[in-house]
């Protein structure tokens, strides 16, 4: 049968119809409409809305297991490792203390602490950072990144790619949406649990994040309020609206978005609420 007799459209493709719009175009239009209707929020109102969207309840200091310290020659810092059970009985995050010496325990009574949330891996991103004698440096691999990158799935290790548009990160985020338990909510919970733990040994805690880690870090900062002495974000996404407009979802992981969030707020509003210092290179 000739092609023109079985085609459902004159040219065989819906995209060639007059007035057609791609799904992405519709999503961008709706996202822009929602952002235009947003109203300013107080910190308390933002905290309430985020807790609802992230499905978060009260977060307490987690039980943790002491791991074997790791380190390399050539000036690399030692990493004391603590596996945090941020879900009951389940290690979901790894807290690492970067020092010049190997420690098996979390040091007590540190005046100042930096808690760093990585783009992909705190060990790689902090390995050459010089320690500050006045401020202890901790990195936190939240669920899904660094040492907490999932190892199961159908992809060989050499083919695993966090930013692949249809791989493990996308599927974990999709499962979270199906069960109404946002994957991003788990990442934020990991940060808040680490904060509760470090509050037992530190007077002031400074939050730092890089890249995609800026999203859960910022949400945690809003929920924690004044519990963080300062918030510094480097090379993070400008906004959730920007992530929608991008059009390349594998560059903006699904696990760093929240359903329906643009009806109430976007990242620039949240950065102002916590007076975050923002650096883009």
Tell me what pLDDT residue 246 has. 85
Tell me what pLDDT residue 281 has. 67
Q: What confidence tier does 73 reach under pLDDT thresholds 50, 70, 90?
A: very low
**Residues recorded for the chain:** 281
Residues 88 and 221 in one domain: yes
d(CA 7, CA 59): 57
Which residue range forms the structural domain that includes residue 249? 42-279
List all residues 6 or more positions away from 158 whose beta carbon is below 8 Å from its beta carbon. Answer: none
Number of domains making up the chain = 2
Q: What is the pLDDT of residues 239-252, one digit of tens each?
A: 999 999 987 655 77
Residues 30 and 62 in one domain: no
Consecutive H or E run containing 181: none
Residues 81 and 174 in one domain: yes
Q: Which residue in this structure is represented by tokens 């979270």?
A: 176
> Which has the higher per-residue pLDDT, 165 or 204?
204
Residues 95 and 162 in one domain: yes
Residues 131 and 83 in one domain: yes
Residues 46 and 22 in one domain: no
**Phi, psi for 78 (deg, rounded to 5):** -75, 150
Residues 15 and 70 in one domain: no
Tell me how crowded residue 40 is: count the other CB atoms within 10 A of its CB: 10
User: What would the DSSP string read from start to end of the chain?
Assistant: --HHHH-SSTTS-GGGSTT---HHHHHHHHHHHHHHT-----HHHHHHHHHHHHT-----PPPEEEPPPB--SSSPPEEEEEEE--BTTB--EEEEEEESS--SSPPS-EEEEEEEE-SS-HHHHHTTPPPBTTEEEEEEE-TTSGGGS---SSS-GGG--TT-TTSHHHHHHHHHHHTT--HHHHHHHHHHHHHHHHTTTEEEEEEEEEGGGHHHHHHHHHHHGGGSSEEEEES--S-HHHHHHH--GGGS-GGG--TTGGGT--HHHHHHHHT-EEE--
Residues 152 and 50 in one domain: yes
Q: What is the pLDDT of residues 106-134, one digit of tens each?
A: 888 778 999 999 999 999 999 888 877 78
Strand partners, 76: none
Residues 123 and 202 in one domain: yes
Residues 72 and 189 in one domain: yes
Residues 2 and 134 in one domain: no
Q: Domain holding 273: CATH number?
A: 3.40.50.1820
d(CA 214, CA 103): 28
Residues 32 and 94 in one domain: no
Cβ–Cβ under 8 Å, residues 84 and 92: yes
Q: What pTM does this model have?
A: 0.91
């Amino acid at each position: 049968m000739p092609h023109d007799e079985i085609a459902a459209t004159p040219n065989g493709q819906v995209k060639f119809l007059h007035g057609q719009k791609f799904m992405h175009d519709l999503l961008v239009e709706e996202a822009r409409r929602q952002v235009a209707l947003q109203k300013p929020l107080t910190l308390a109102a933002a905290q309430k809305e985020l807790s609802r969207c992230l499905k978060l309840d009260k977060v307490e200091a987690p039980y943790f297991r002491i791991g074997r310290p790791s380190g390399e020659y050539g000036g690399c810092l030692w990493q004391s490792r603590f596996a945090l059970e941020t879900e009951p009985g389940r290690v979901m995050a790894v807290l690492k203390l970067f020092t010049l010496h190997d420690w098996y325990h979390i040091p007590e009574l540190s005046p100042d602490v930096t808690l760093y949330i990585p783009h992909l891996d705190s060990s790689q991103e902090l390995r050459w950072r010089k320690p500050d004698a006045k401020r202890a440096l901790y990195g936190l691999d939240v669920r899904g990144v660094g040492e907490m990158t999932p190892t199961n799935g159908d992809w060989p290790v050499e083919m695993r790619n966090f930013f692949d548009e249809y791989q493990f990160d996308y599927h974990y985020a999709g499962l979270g949406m199906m069960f109404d338990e946002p994957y991003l909510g788990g990442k934020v919970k990991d940060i808040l649990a680490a904060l509760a733990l470090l509050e037992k040994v530190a007077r002031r805690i400074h939050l730092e994040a890089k890249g995609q880690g800026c999203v859960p870090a910022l949400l945690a900062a809003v929920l924690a309020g004044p519990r963080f002495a300062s918030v510094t974000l480097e090379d993070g996404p400008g906004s959730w609206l920007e992530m929608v407009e991008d059009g390349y979802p594998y560059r903006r992981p699904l696990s760093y978005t929240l359903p329906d969030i643009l009806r109430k707020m976007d990242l620039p509003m949240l950065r102002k609420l916590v007076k975050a210092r923002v650096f883009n290179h």
